[in-house]
Structure 1
Amino acid sequence: MTPSEFEAGVDAPESNCPFCTIADHFPPFSATSPPRDHDHDIDPTKTTPPAFVVLSTGTLVAFLDIMPLSRGHLLLCPRTHRPKLTDVSRDEAADLGRYLRVLSKALSRVTGVEDWNVVQNNGAAAAQVVMHMHFHLIPRPEIRASGRYSESFTMFGRGKREDLDEDDADQLARELREAVAEVLREEEVESQKDKSKL
């Protein structure tokens, strides 16, 4: 590998990159017909800590954050090791954009939370902890509606984070995979309707 390739962010994945480990252990599956419970392709125990995969394409993988800011906190990253957003390929960038929208819609349906953050940090000074480019999709329940006025919003990694509840995560990941499939099928129907009008 040449120095310019290394600087461009296309270096070989480091053996300790947790997102590369997830990408290596979870092969792509059909987003419109995802695997069901206990399928080997989505067995969370294939990695340590367990990974609860929601989406796995040829270019991307999405999974639940192990230290979520809220229930349903997802991470979406390219399958290939890319340290920063500027390192992703054009095809990866297009897929990331497409699935950010699809995952957002699925996440809102499953959690019932209609407000969310999409956050992406680049570099240590920008609060990037894992040096493998990723987006956070973070549901933001309306705390004022609950009467909890003294609580503050957690933002960009600040605030209380708790370990992911693995039993809940297993069920939540299954529901999210199904919701992603439903969103994609609905969009295909809409696309066909639009084409028929032409």
Structure 2
Amino acid sequence: MTAYDPNNPFAKILRGEFPCAKVYENDHVLAFLDIMPRVAGHTLVIPKAPARNILDITEEDYLHVGRAVRTIARAAKTAFAADGITVQQFNEHAGGQMVFHLHVHIMPRHNGDSLLPPASRKEDPKVLEENAAKLIAALKG
């Protein structure tokens, strides 16, 4: 298996070298809005531990990711008045992975909507801020 690259974009976000629209953070995970969302509220959850994907993350670190995914999914359903939630996670090139730091996509969905193609457009930072505020409010209850 290829080694973890500490210069991947998500590692740079964790180190504060790249900005993000953060919605949730604890000692083990960070959740932030995707800058190229497929739907409004498209959020990524990443472990703080260096893990290329599900094939090399420790069980303990993966459990932290799973808990955060559940927390964010529930908040996203509320924040965006969604009818459902799509959760996706890709591994290695053949599996569709594009950034090689484990990440889970959480996308609020509405009946009859369609996902935009992956990486098809960059969202306006103001819209990301507004959507982050909605998610943060829903997380606070």
Correspondence for 1:117 among 86, 94, 107? 86
Structure having the higher Rg: 1
Identity score, percent: 26
**CA RMSD of the aligned region, Å?**
2.1
**Counterpart-to-counterpart distance in 1, 2:110 and 2:66:** 24
Say yes or no: does 1:22 pair with 2:13: yes
Q: Which has the higher helix share?
A: 1
Shift of 1:76: 0.6
Within a 5 Å distance, the mapping from 1:102-181 to structure 2 comes to 102-143=71-112, 153-154=114-115, 158=117, 161-181=120-140
TM-score of the two chains, using structure 1 as the length reference: 0.64
Say yes or no: does 1:61 pair with 2:30: yes
Q: Which has the higher strand share?
A: 2
Aligned-partner SS, 1:55: strand
Query: Which amino acid is 2:15 matched to?
Result: D
Shift of 1:61: 0.7
**Counterpart-to-counterpart distance in 1, 2:92 and 2:77:** 29
Correspondence for 1:95 among 43, 47, 64? 64
Query: Which amino acid is 2:84 matched to?
Result: D
Q: Are the equivalent residues in 2 in contact too, given 1:84–1:133 (CA < 8 A)?
A: yes
Aligned-partner SS, 1:138: strand
**Counterpart-to-counterpart distance in 2, 1:159 and 1:85:** 20
Change in CA separation of 1:172 and 1:125 when aligned onto 2, cut-off 3 Å: same
Query: Which amino acid is 1:162 matched to?
Result: R
Q: Are the equivalent residues in 2 in contact too, given 1:68–1:164 (CA < 8 A)?
A: yes
Aligned-partner SS, 1:86: coil
Paired residues, number: 141
Within a 5 Å distance, the mapping from 1:4-15 to structure 2 comes to 7=1, 11=4, 13-15=5-7
Runs of 5+ in structure 1 lacking a partner? Answer: 1-6, 26-45, 145-152, 183-198
Change in CA separation of 1:110 and 1:129 when aligned onto 2, cut-off 3 Å: same
Aligned-partner SS, 2:24: strand
**Counterpart-to-counterpart distance in 2, 1:176 and 1:18:** 23
Change in CA separation of 1:56 and 1:159 when aligned onto 2, cut-off 3 Å: closer
Query: Which amino acid is 2:120 matched to?
Result: R
Q: Are the equivalent residues in 2 in contact too, given 1:20–1:80 (CA < 8 A)?
A: no
Query: Which amino acid is 1:164 matched to?
Result: E
